[in-house]
A and B are shown apart, each in its own frame.
Chain A
Amino acid sequence: MARIDVKKTYKLYIGGQFPRSESGRTYVVNDASGNLLANAAQASRKDARDAVIAARKAFGGWSSKTAYNRGQVIYRIAEVLEGRRDQFVAELRATEGVTAAKANTFVDAAIDRLVWYAGWADKITQVVSSANPVAGPYFNISSPEPTGVVAVVAPSGPLLGLVSVVAPIITTGNTCVVIASEAHPLTSITLGEVMATSDLPGGVINVLTGSVAEIAPWLASHMDVNGIDLTGVTDAELATALEVAAADNLKRLRRAPEATVDWLATPGTDRLTDWLETKTVWHPIGV
């Protein structure tokens, strides 16, 4: 008789832990052929609220780590992900119905994407800072600082899109709350497991699964969220409404892309600089 397998439970990833939704709700996630894969947790506004609290709590520590340290932690996430490569390939094939070749390509690219961003941690400051030659006896320097807690609506697609929106946020010292793809949420929680086992402090990344239309407005209007990334919002009306809500505390905003994104292409630095504030300091020069 064939061995009965132990089915995995998919919960939320908040503050380094895996709680169920406080609402107790789940929703059915099927595979490409319509078979039941799992009951994913359906996050509520209270879960979103808790996630923001966790992200805020983690921000002080994460942003004050040396850039070198952050780079090493993100590289470690890549190491752990590499170790679980096959699991992700299998999961992507099962949950999203992609071919083996595509799954392999995208998982490899996700690992490499993490390595790419790990390498940015201690360099972005050099690339965007300047010593400014003001017309007076002053030392004047502009340098970037992380903005704080960033909410993200992740794009759908096999893993790479998710990694590509989350990594640049945390590389620069921000923390984030990400709403995973509604149709394909499971891989994002498995990615949460990778985060939880790779020296990433709890709360730096928090993953919510559930209804984007239900949860996103709560994050967009949250006064303790500093930035919002609408990359994964496909409904134009919803995107506009979220942008309006975000204006209440002038969140830093990244709109949904107009064209389809080729996630495999090497990114620019805009996803890094989106969540950076520039601070300019003046100091007199004299004996």
Chain B
Amino acid sequence: MVKVPETHEDRSLRSARSHEGFEYAPAPESRSIVDIKPSYGLFIDGEFLDGHGKSFKTISPASEEVLAEIAEADESDVDLAVKAARRAHSRVWGRMPGSERAKYLFRIARIIQERGRELAVLESIDNGKPIKESRDVDIPNVAAHFFYYAGWADKLSHVGLGPDPKSLGVAGQVIPWNFPLLMLAWKIAPALAAGNTVVLKPAETTPLTALLFAEICQQADLPPGVVNIVTGAGATGQAIVAHPDVDKVAFTGSTDVGKAIARAVAGTKKKVTLELGGKAANIVFDDAPVDQAVEGIVNGIFFNQGHVCCAGSRLLVQESIADEMLERLKRRMSTLRMGDPLDKNTDIGAINSGEQLKRIRELSEVGDAEGAERWEVACDLPTKGFWFPPTLFTGVTQAHRIAREEIFGPVLSVLTFRTPAEAVEKANNTPFGLSAGVWTDKGSRILWMANQLRAGVVWANTFNKFDPTSPFGGYKESGYGREGGLPGLAAYLEGTH
């Protein structure tokens, strides 16, 4: 496994260590709690049906084992789903008092809590992320999201959109593979609270927790057609976006696809929110709380294997402390444990797909070619599955591609700055604008930086913090619209853009 490297010779009083070190034995979370079926249909109008497209397989990215066969929804399936959603909206959900809708959402939140362990294990198996993260971050946030929005369902008169704001109707929602169930919660909870019905497509590499969620909707006795889950890839997503009877489109994913969607809905009345890519600057000043800043940098880019749109993928460190920070960073990175996602001690899991791994490798090679210096944690990569060691590039400048393009993997580009103004300039010098981090002990500077940074989320002395009450979304090409809090709800009600 990963050992702490000795950085210099020890002239100290240290006694010869009498043991090999503290080796953590395997601590696997049991798989027996999940029951993965050999194949899954589409969840339309409260039932599982066969799809008419070409079914595909979902695999575990850690081992490449096939998990299940997944149906593909073709245009006719999408049409069926939208029709079911429309019926459910006009006859049942759209006219149901908010207090009753609330109670369905509370039920769903409760069941998610009850089946939390099962959902976390399934998420880790299908996505590749460490069980520690799906158990402690993803699933609790999923439940919290449903709890939060459940409470809004009967309080819409307090949102600031008038005494009785109306739902939009049917929402078509397409979500990514990096936080499968959490992204589903961010989309479905506010939509339903506001009185809409949904047709949601999970990512093709991570459909399983969405399909389990469909079961949870059945357990909660949710009226048929309120939630429809249609699995598939790009074509299915396009069919949803293009369907004429969808009133609202919500998409989280790459900037390129986001732009394609914006073009596709041009000339229609569809409302759109997009949550796209980022290349966030994590800015560390010389008076930062050093040890916590190191944690924040590590968390910022290596949490979820760097598959995070708001990842702190550019470290902007004040030149006066750059060397020291890098030493500390490398030392800390060397204690990261990469391996079996179901091992409770794993910090870094598998890359989600072969395709993503290829992209990460390509861009890293670009980094080498551009003259940046690569440093990676020394570890043995398993032979099966998709793995990339935590990596950092020093000597990076704004002119490098690895400072501009989103890698979406565990690769940190390190740049330096001299003054606050320069940090702001560099941080803002990007077409993206999703998030930023600021590390300093000085409160007034935190506020000044936050004011100057063109980013939808600014984290000060922390990173990657999410809460259902806290709006999230980007400036510029990181998308438009916000999820979470009141804006997240307002996006599904008439009276806003």
Cβ of A126: which chain B residues have Cβ within 8 Å of it?
Answer: 469, 485-486
Asked whether, in the complex, the Cβ of A285 is within 8 Å of the Cβ of B150, the reply is: no
Does A118 count as interface, using CB distance less than 8 angstroms?
yes
- Say yes or no: A115-B485 contact (C-beta < 8 A), given A68-B147, A123-B151, A287-B420: no
Asked whether, in the complex, the Cβ of A284 is within 8 Å of the Cβ of B99, the reply is: no
- Say yes or no: A285-B444 contact (C-beta < 8 A), given A119-B102, A119-B154, A122-B151: yes
Q: Which residue of B lies closest to A113 (CB)?
A: B99
Most chain B CB neighbours (cut-off 10 Å) among A67, A120, A285 = A285
- Say yes or no: A285-B447 contact (C-beta < 8 A), given A72-B147, A119-B102, A127-B158: yes
Does B103 count as interface, using CB distance less than 8 angstroms?
yes
Cβ of A72: which chain B residues have Cβ within 8 Å of it?
Answer: 147
Q: How far is the CA of A122 from the CA of B467 in the complex (A)?
A: 11
- Residues 100-131 (chain A) with a chain B CB within 8 angstroms: 112, 115-116, 118-123, 126-127
Asked whether, in the complex, the Cβ of A115 is within 8 Å of the Cβ of B469, the reply is: no
Asked whether, in the complex, the Cβ of B447 is within 8 Å of the Cβ of A75, the reply is: no
Q: How far is the CA of A284 from the CA of B469 in the complex (A)?
A: 26
Asked whether, in the complex, the Cβ of A118 is within 8 Å of the Cβ of B151, the reply is: yes
Most chain A CB neighbours (cut-off 10 Å) among B150, B158, B445 = B158
Does A249 count as interface, using CB distance less than 8 angstroms?
no
- Say yes or no: A286-B445 contact (C-beta < 8 A), given A116-B154, A122-B148: yes
Q: How far is the CB of B274 from chain A (nearest CB, A)?
A: 24
Q: How far is the CA of A127 from the CA of B444 in the complex (A)?
A: 26
Cβ of A68: which chain B residues have Cβ within 8 Å of it?
Answer: 144, 147-148
Does A269 count as interface, using CB distance less than 8 angstroms?
yes
Q: How far is the CA of A283 from the CA of B446 in the complex (A)?
A: 10
Q: How far is the CA of A123 from the CA of B488 in the complex (A)?
A: 13
Asked whether, in the complex, the Cβ of A119 is within 8 Å of the Cβ of B469, the reply is: no
Q: How far is the CB of A278 from chain B (nearest CB, A)?
A: 18
Cβ of A121: which chain B residues have Cβ within 8 Å of it?
Answer: 151
Q: How far is the CA of A118 from the CA of B99 in the complex (A)?
A: 12
Does B21 count as interface, using CB distance less than 8 angstroms?
no
* Binary CB contact string for chain B from 125 to 159 against chain A (1 if under 8 A, 0 otherwise): 00000000000000000001001101111110010
Q: How far is the CB of B120 from chain A (nearest CB, A)?
A: 19
- Say yes or no: A286-B154 contact (C-beta < 8 A), given A72-B147, A115-B102, A122-B469: no
Asked whether, in the complex, the Cβ of B150 is within 8 Å of the Cβ of A119, the reply is: yes
Asked whether, in the complex, the Cβ of A115 is within 8 Å of the Cβ of B103, the reply is: yes
Does B106 count as interface, using CB distance less than 8 angstroms?
yes
Q: How far is the CA of A116 from the CA of B447 in the complex (A)?
A: 36
Q: How far is the CB of B105 from chain A (nearest CB, A)?
A: 10
Cβ of A173: which chain B residues have Cβ within 8 Å of it?
Answer: none
Asked whether, in the complex, the Cβ of A119 is within 8 Å of the Cβ of B444, the reply is: no
* Binary CB contact string for chain B from 97 to 108 against chain A (1 if under 8 A, 0 otherwise): 001001100100
* Binary CB contact string for chain B from 462 to 497 against chain A (1 if under 8 A, 0 otherwise): 000000110000000000000001100000000000
Q: How far is the CA of A239 from the CA of B154 in the complex (A)?
A: 34
Asked whether, in the complex, the Cβ of B151 is within 8 Å of the Cβ of A120, the reply is: yes
Cβ of A285: which chain B residues have Cβ within 8 Å of it?
Answer: 444, 447-448, 451
Asked whether, in the complex, the Cβ of A286 is within 8 Å of the Cβ of B444, the reply is: yes
Q: Given A119, A269, A286, A287, which contacts B151 in the complex, CB threshold below 8 Å?
A: A119
Q: How far is the CB of B318 from chain A (nearest CB, A)?
A: 12
Cβ of B451: which chain A residues have Cβ within 8 Å of it?
Answer: 285
Asked whether, in the complex, the Cβ of A287 is within 8 Å of the Cβ of B152, the reply is: no
Cβ of A112: which chain B residues have Cβ within 8 Å of it?
Answer: 99, 103
Q: How far is the CA of A269 from the CA of B154 in the complex (A)?
A: 13
Asked whether, in the complex, the Cβ of A71 is within 8 Å of the Cβ of B147, the reply is: yes
Q: How far is the CA of A154 from the CA of B150 in the complex (A)?
A: 28
- Residues 228-287 (chain A) with a chain B CB within 8 angstroms: 266, 269, 283-287
Does B443 count as interface, using CB distance less than 8 angstroms?
yes
Q: Which residue of B lies closest to A109 (CB)?
A: B99
Q: How far is the CB of B482 from chain A (nearest CB, A)?
A: 13
- Say yes or no: A284-B150 contact (C-beta < 8 A), given A112-B99, A115-B99, A269-B158: no
Asked whether, in the complex, the Cβ of B469 is within 8 Å of the Cβ of A283, the reply is: no
Q: How far is the CA of A122 from the CA of B144 in the complex (A)?
A: 11
Cβ of A120: which chain B residues have Cβ within 8 Å of it?
Answer: 151, 155
Cβ of B486: which chain A residues have Cβ within 8 Å of it?
Answer: 126
Does A139 count as interface, using CB distance less than 8 angstroms?
yes
Cβ of B154: which chain A residues have Cβ within 8 Å of it?
Answer: 116, 119, 266
Cβ of A67: which chain B residues have Cβ within 8 Å of it?
Answer: 469
Q: How far is the CB of B320 from chain A (nearest CB, A)?
A: 15
Asked whether, in the complex, the Cβ of B444 is within 8 Å of the Cβ of A283, the reply is: yes
Cβ of B448: which chain A residues have Cβ within 8 Å of it?
Answer: 285-287
Q: How far is the CA of A269 from the CA of B485 in the complex (A)?
A: 18
Q: Given A75, A115, A266, A287, which contacts B445 in the complex, CB threshold below 8 Å?
A: A287
- Say yes or no: A119-B158 contact (C-beta < 8 A), given A283-B444, A287-B444: no
Asked whether, in the complex, the Cβ of A139 is within 8 Å of the Cβ of B447, the reply is: yes
Q: How far is the CA of A116 from the CA of B147 in the complex (A)?
A: 12
Cβ of A119: which chain B residues have Cβ within 8 Å of it?
Answer: 102, 150-155
Asked whether, in the complex, the Cβ of B152 is within 8 Å of the Cβ of A123, the reply is: yes
Q: How far is the CB of B460 from chain A (nearest CB, A)?
A: 12
Asked whether, in the complex, the Cβ of A75 is within 8 Å of the Cβ of B152, the reply is: no
Q: How far is the CB of A132 from chain B (nearest CB, A)?
A: 14
- Residues 144-177 (chain B) with a chain A CB within 8 angstroms: 144, 147-148, 150-155, 158
Q: How far is the CB of A53 from chain B (nearest CB, A)?
A: 32
Cβ of A123: which chain B residues have Cβ within 8 Å of it?
Answer: 148, 151-152, 155, 158, 469
Q: How far is the CB of B485 from chain A (nearest CB, A)?
A: 6
Most chain A CB neighbours (cut-off 10 Å) among B147, B443, B445, B451 = B147
Q: How far is the CA of A262 from the CA of B127 in the complex (A)?
A: 52
The 10 closest A-B pairs by CB, nearest first: A119-B151, A285-B447, A287-B420, A284-B444, A286-B444, A139-B447, A285-B448, A287-B445, A286-B448, A287-B448
A–B Cβ pairs within 8 angstroms, 5 of them: A120-B151, A123-B148, A123-B155, A126-B486, A285-B448
Extra inter-chain contacts (11) besides given A75-B106, A120-B151, CB under 8 Å? A68-B144, A72-B147, A115-B102, A115-B103, A119-B150, A119-B153, A123-B158, A127-B158, A285-B448, A286-B447, A287-B420
